[in-house]
Structures are given as C-alpha cells and as structure tokens.
Amino acid sequence: MGGEVMEALIARALGGDVRAIAKLISLVENESSYTDTIMKAIYPRSGRAHVVGVTGSPGAGKSTLVDKLVLTLRDKGLKVGVVAVDPSSPFTGGAILGDRLRMQRHSTDPNVFIRSMGTRGSLGGIARATFEAALILDACGYDVVFIETVGVGQSEVDIVRVSDTVCLVLVPGMGDSIQLMKAGIMEIADIFVVNKADREGVNRLVTEVEMVLDMSIPKEAAWRPPVHKTVAETGEGVAELAESLKAHRNFIKSSSSGRDRAYRRLEWEVEEILRREIAKVVEDRLREVLSDPAVLEDLYARRRDPYTLAGEILCEIFNSNSENCGRDKR
C-alpha cells in the first residue's frame, strides 16, 4: 500500500466510512508496518469518546448487557462502537461466531460498529490492539466505545484498564465476589452490575459487594462505585445503568482523577509501543545470531552460556557507551 493510498484510507475512516474503519483496525490488530502511520494520524482526533470497559466472569451476561446498552444509547442518538476481546482462547472461533450473531442484530444500523479481537500474539499485544481499536473508533466519530472481555483475570484487568469507566458484571450464585476480590479486579471497577437479578441470591450478592466497598472505599472518596441490579435479557435496569455510566463520565471529566487515569493510560501506551518496537529489533538480531549453528552448539555443549551471549547481543543493539552495555562487559 502506498503512502497516498494509506492517507486516503485514513481520511475515509475519519469521515465515518465503516469499511475503511474496519480496515484500519485490522491493520493495527495484525501489527502491520502501517500501525505507526495510522495511529499518528488518528491520535490527534481522539479523546472525545467515552470508553467503557465491561468485564466479569464468563456466563455473567456481559454481551447481552452491552447489546442492551447499545440499544439504549442509540435511542439517545449516540454512535456506539463495541470491541469484544477473548484473551483466554487461542481461537477466535467463539468470538467470531458471537460477532456474526451480534452483527446481524445491528446490521441495519450504520451507527453501531462491532468488532471482535482475536488472540494472535502476546497478551500485552491484545491489550494494545484493543486500546488502539478504541482510539480509532473514538477518532472516527463514535460517542461511546465499549471494550468487552469474555472472562475475568489478569489479562482482562490489563485490557479494561485503558477504559474511562470500568464496569464489573457479577451474577448471583457463582461465588463471584470472593473470586473477584482475589483477582484484584474490584479495585479497578467504577460501577458494579449484578446481572440476572431475577435469580435467587441477588440481594445477598449486592450486600456483599457493598460491604467490600465499605471496607475499601474511603468515606471521603469523590466517587463511590454504585451497585446496579439488571436483567439484561429483559432490559430491566439498563436505562439506570446507562445513566450511571454518564454520571461517571461527568465525574472523571470534572475531577482530577479522570486526568490522572488518562495519564496512567498514556504512560502504559508509550511503554507498550516501546516494548513492541524493541521486541522486533531483538527478534531480528537474535534470528541473525542464531542462524550460525555454532552458536547453539556452543551453548548446548556448555562452552558458552546464554547469559554471556545475551550480554553481547545487548552491547551490539544498544549504544556501546550505555550503562547497560558497560555492565555486561565487566
């Protein structure tokens, strides 16, 4: 693809062309060499959307809930994007199937964009690609972008961390509250949702969550996460949840904590970009070094050790006067 073709593609995407947007997200997801160009063009136009992370155990009804939220926000005339991620599955099959089904539901609505992210590459890579997809949707005019994870765990925490608002979905009868406290995800939730609230044990779960919040949120905190009851299937409680999302958005916009969060996100992003670029350099150099069969033979025979070899490669990659190189030379 030539530079002009890419410029035209980006311009079409920024103008709202759905196919161009999908193409940009694919290029970024596949870590194409255009990622840098795309993101440099996208970034200055981003920062307007409300990015909402939705996480919780498998089976908690997250995708149904997001679907209903999408309908609610569409009724208000907002453009909505959804990025669904399944970092735990090595296959995109499930995600793609879900994607298709959901696409059908919204296929007549050009103001809803739904995208599933696969799990090529590292977990860090998915988190980054998800965030970049959200930035692209943001810059291309979507007012609210949902980032929806399939499971809950460290990788999901990393993924939703880039959201303005993190929504944690629980269901009664799954021993969730204890599990989630262990996973450290309760600390990052801005809004709690107890879904399937027509089931037994709802009130007990709500009480448990409130108790945990009593213990963990200081009384003087500017935002205490609300706990919503919803029945995603019927839409019960979804309108109130949508209001709550908006309230949290207003809160972070008007408080310093929103800027602090954006700062952490930016730090993380710069670090991820650096990590990716450096990994490329390392892999290239390593492939080169190891293409000499004598290198592995020497390591295998213990005539040389991997630590010394790595030190030598570092010296070559980095400025030879860098501290790191000096240390490995001693």
259 in Cβ contact with 95 (< 8 Å)? no
131 in Cβ contact with 69 (< 8 Å)? no
C-alpha–C-alpha distance, residues 183 and 198, integer Å: 26
C-alpha–C-alpha distance, residues 135 and 49, integer Å: 8
Specify which residues 218 forms β-bridges with. Answer: none
Neighbours of 112 (CB within 10 A): 23
Contact range with its own copies by CB under 8 A, out of 105-113, 165-173, 249-257, 314-322: 314-322
Q: What is the CA radius of gyration of the chain?
A: 23
C-alpha–C-alpha distance, residues 24 and 35, integer Å: 8
> DSSP assignment of 202-215, as one string?
HHHHHHHHHHHHHH
Of positions 263, 292, 326, 329, contacts its own copies by CB under 8 A: 263
Does 182 engage in binding with its own copies (CB under 8 A)? yes
Does 178 engage in binding with its own copies (CB under 8 A)? no
Does 2 engage in binding with its own copies (CB under 8 A)? no
Number of residues that bind its own copies (CB under 8 A): 57
Binding to its own copies by CB under 8 A, coded x per residue (else -) over 85-124, reads: ---xxxx-------------------------------x-
Of positions 58, 234, 270, 288, contacts its own copies by CB under 8 A: 270
Question: How many alpha carbons lie under 13 Å from residue 124 in its C-beta half-sphere?
Answer: 11
Contact range with its own copies by CB under 8 A, out of 9-17, 21-29, 162-170, 292-300: 292-300
Rounded to a whole number of angstroms, the minimum distance from the CB of residue 64 to its own copies is 24
Of positions 32, 46, 92, 179, contacts its own copies by CB under 8 A: 46
Does 309 engage in binding with its own copies (CB under 8 A)? yes
Neighbours of 124 (CB within 10 A): 16
Structure tokens at 135: 């930035």
Contact range with its own copies by CB under 8 A, out of 60-68, 166-174, 205-213, 265-273: 265-273
Write out the residues near its own copies by the rule CB under 8 A.
36, 39-40, 43-44, 46-47, 88-91, 123, 153-154, 182-184, 259, 262-263, 266-267, 269-271, 273-275, 277-283, 286, 290, 296, 299-300, 302, 305-311, 313-314, 317-320, 322, 324, 328
